[in-house]
Amino acid sequence: MNRAGTSNGTAPSTAIADLDWRGGASAAGPLVIRGAHALDPGSGLDRICDLVIRDGRIAEIAESGAGRAPEGAEEIDAAGLHAFPAFFDPHVHLRSPGQEHKEDIETGTRAAAAGGYCGVVAMANTDPVVDDPAHVLALRERAQAEASVPTGFVATVTRGMRGEELTEMAAIRAAGAVGFSDDGLPIASARVMRRALQYQHLVGGTILLHEEDPELSGDGVMNEGPVSAALGLSGVPAVSESVMIARDAALCLYEDATAHVQHLSARVSVEAVETAKAAGAKLTAELTPHHLVLTDEEVRSLDARFKMNPPLRTEDDRQALIEALRRGTVDCIGTDHAPHAIDEKDVPFEIAMMGVTGLETAFAVLYTELVLPGVLDLGLIVERMGAGARLFDLDQPEIAVDAAANVVLVDLEHDWEGGAEGWESRSDNSCFHGRALKSRPMITIVGGEVAFRRRSFSMRVAG
Ligand SMILES: [Zn+2]
Ligand SMILES: [Zn+2]
């Protein structure tokens, strides 16, 4: 199950389950999922059927009731549930090492499994930051002991995340990092960014970019606009994000390198990505559920659960993000799951830490706020919630014969309230705390293994 690193920079692995976690296909017994409505826009599947899972793969897709249970198979009565390809999150913060009071690999990946995810990629802005091969190896070892779902790790682009000197990118790739990111901070220097892209071109691995111009962002704590003016809070202008996207797109084109723009938040940023893609830049982009459904109007409450970076923007920005997802300008959805302790958030808005959790609410929020009102198609949401795997040359989860068995069973009729029963995550800083949500993942199957089962859900073992 080791993801063997290579020194020439090519990614040898294409299976999500080959990332580090405590499970593995060899340990999984056979499973039969009976009578779920399977929906996979990638493979074109959209019908009620039985899924037979063996040796970590989908062995058979049969008419409902006709799936032959292998001996000793566990059977899941999934009548009334939907089966989707499980989700993949390219952007989470697991806070290990050094900030385990917020989250750790065990709690963060359990939250991921509960949210329907079969894999996550953890950012490197920990304490200390992950900036050398030894750090990467240590984290991979911990994930093999603790992680509920396959977990990839990135290392920082610059030493100490100081934005000055590059890390040993080739050695870090050889140690098995899936990519590089200084997420939490931008790479302010164009010279350093250019050098990083030159190395990326040589060693592979994805460079994930947190885009903002630190001088334009200044000491802003929310979106710059009428709401920040009314509240008397300092603002971060949207153009702070878009100018850096434009700069890095130009550098990518010049160096023939690839990069991924994280958490797009504004219309001007969508336009910058569109321009870059039209010019041939090898750029991908992501956005978060919270930027898709909330605006800076929420900040009028001065509740720090609505404080994150990039900040919630305007309704016009939100509409541009929705349209960008629909058009394909945005390639994937990532949560930017960013746990914090209560005493880091339950303070005046200006001094509260930036960031919100997201793994356990992502699907339900998008379904409740965008699919049910008819704004976006269910299939589109499912597809973009798995597409983050492609950034790392991993196979996007799919429901097809012989595909790796990464499947989430979702009850679209399930009503619940965000946070009412607590969270699997160690942290409670969800911007959807207290919100009425419809739909919930019930079971998450990863590489043929049940990685999460909601307590209310029963299974039986066939004769
Ligand atoms: Zn960020
Ligand atoms: Zn982040």
Tell me: do 77 and 103 sit in the same domain. no
Instruction: Give the Å distance between the CA of 457 and the centre of ligand 2.
Output: 33
Tell me: do 51 and 91 sit in the same domain. no
Instruction: Give the Å distance between the CA of 123 and the centre of ligand 2.
Output: 7
pLDDT at 384 over 60: yes
Q: Average pLDDT in the 431-457 region?
A: 94
pLDDT at 3 over 60: no
Instruction: Give the Å distance between the CA of 288 and the centre of ligand 2.
Output: 10
Tell me: do 353 and 413 sit in the same domain. no
DSSP letter (8 states) at residue 355: -
Q: Average pLDDT in the 92-113 region?
A: 96
156-199 pLDDT, tens digit each: 999 999 999 999 999 999 999 999 999 999 999 999 999 999 99
127-160 pLDDT, tens digit each: 999 999 999 999 999 999 999 999 999 999 999 9
Q: Average pLDDT in the 427-445 region?
A: 97
Residue-wise DSSP of 294-339:
--GGGGGG--GGG--SSPP--HHHHHHHHHHHHHTSS-EE---B--
Of all ligands present, the nearest one to the C-alpha of 311 is: 1
Instruction: Give the Å distance between the CA of 217 and the centre of ligand 1.
Output: 13
Residue % of the chain over a pLDDT of 90: 92
Of all ligands present, the nearest one to the C-alpha of 211 is: 1
**Alpha-carbon distance 426 to 118, whole Å?**
19
Look up tokens 């990518």; give the residue: 252
Q: What type of residue sits at position 336? A: D
Tell me: do 217 and 337 sit in the same domain. yes
Number of domains within the chain: 2
Tell me: do 238 and 131 sit in the same domain. yes
Q: Measuring CA to CA, which residue among 392, 461, 2 is closest to residue 207?
A: 392
Instruction: Give the Å distance between the CA of 323 and the centre of ligand 2.
Output: 23
pLDDT at 11 over 90: no
Instruction: Give the Å distance between the CA of 172 and the centre of ligand 2.
Output: 20
Of all ligands present, the nearest one to the C-alpha of 123 is: 2
Tell me: do 75 and 159 sit in the same domain. no
Cα 307 to the center of its chain, rounded Å: 19
Instruction: Give the Å distance between the CA of 392 and the centre of ligand 1.
Output: 18
Tell me: do 385 and 448 sit in the same domain. no
Cα–Cα distances (Å) from 287 to 15, 85, 270, 326, 385, in that order, read: 24, 19, 10, 12, 10
Tell me: do 141 and 99 sit in the same domain. yes
Q: Average pLDDT in the 271-275 region?
A: 98
53-63 pLDDT, tens digit each: 999 999 999 99
Tell me: do 39 and 135 sit in the same domain. no
Of all ligands present, the nearest one to the C-alpha of 184 is: 1
Tell me: do 376 and 415 sit in the same domain. no
pLDDT, position 25: 55
Chain mean pLDDT for the chain: 94
In a domain, 54, yes or no: yes
Of all ligands present, the nearest one to the C-alpha of 124 is: 2
pLDDT, position 27: 63
In a domain, 13, yes or no: no
Calculated CA dihedral for residues 447, 333, 94, 257, nearest 10 degrees: 100
pLDDT, position 462: 53
Could you say which of 20, 89, 331, 336 is catalytic?
Answer: 336
Instruction: Give the Å distance between the CA of 53 and the centre of ligand 1.
Output: 37
CA angle 440, 265, 225 (to 5 degrees): 120
Q: Average pLDDT in the 371-399 region?
A: 98
User: Could you tell me which residue, 259 or 65, shows the higher pLDDT?
Assistant: 259
| 1 band by pLDDT with thresholds 50, 70 and 90 | very low
pLDDT, position 461: 58
CATH assignment of the domain containing 69: 2.30.40.10
CATH assignment of the domain containing 357: 3.20.20.140
- Asked if residues 360 and 115 have their Cβ atoms less than 8 Å apart, the reply is yes
In a domain, 431, yes or no: no
Instruction: Give the Å distance between the CA of 24 and the centre of ligand 1.
Output: 31
Q: What type of residue sits at position 43? A: S
pLDDT, position 463: 45
pLDDT, position 456: 73
In a domain, 402, yes or no: no
Q: Measuring CA to CA, which residue among 110, 132, 15, 85 is closest to residue 407?
A: 85
Q: Measuring CA to CA, which residue among 193, 313, 327, 200 is closest to residue 264?
A: 313
pLDDT, position 8: 39
Q: Which H/E stretch holds residue 345?
A: helix 342-345
| 459 band by pLDDT with thresholds 50, 70 and 90 | low
pLDDT, position 460: 55
In a domain, 168, yes or no: yes
Tell me: do 44 and 173 sit in the same domain. no
How many beta carbons lie within 10 A of that of residue 372, not counting itself? 13
Instruction: Give the Å distance between the CA of 183 and the centre of ligand 1.
Output: 5
pLDDT at 80 over 50: yes
305-327 pLDDT, tens digit each: 999 999 999 999 999 999 999 99
How do the residues of the chain divide into helix, strand and coil, expressed in percent and rounded to 5? 35, 25, 45
Q: Average pLDDT in the 336-346 region?
A: 95
Q: Average pLDDT in the 74-90 region?
A: 96
Q: What type of residue sits at position 178? A: V
Q: Average pLDDT in the 244-263 region?
A: 97
Tell me which residue range forms the domain holding 370: 87-392
| Annotation marks residue 336 as catalytic | yes
Q: Average pLDDT in the 439-461 region?
A: 87
Q: Average pLDDT in the 415-423 region?
A: 96
Q: Average pLDDT in the 350-377 region?
A: 98
pLDDT, position 458: 62
**Alpha-carbon distance 120 to 149, whole Å?**
7
In a domain, 150, yes or no: yes
Of all ligands present, the nearest one to the C-alpha of 244 is: 1
Q: Could you tell me the pTM of the whole model?
A: 0.95
Spell out the residues 6+ positions from residue 17 whose beta carbon is closer than 8 angstroms to its own: 1, 23, 24, 25, 56, 118, 150, 404, 406, 446, 447
Instruction: Give the Å distance between the CA of 463 and the centre of ligand 1.
Output: 50
CA angle 6, 12, 14 (to 5 degrees): 150
In a domain, 7, yes or no: no
Helices (H), ranges, 204-257: 214-217, 226-231, 239-255
In a domain, 171, yes or no: yes
pLDDT at 10 over 60: no
Tell me: do 73 and 128 sit in the same domain. no
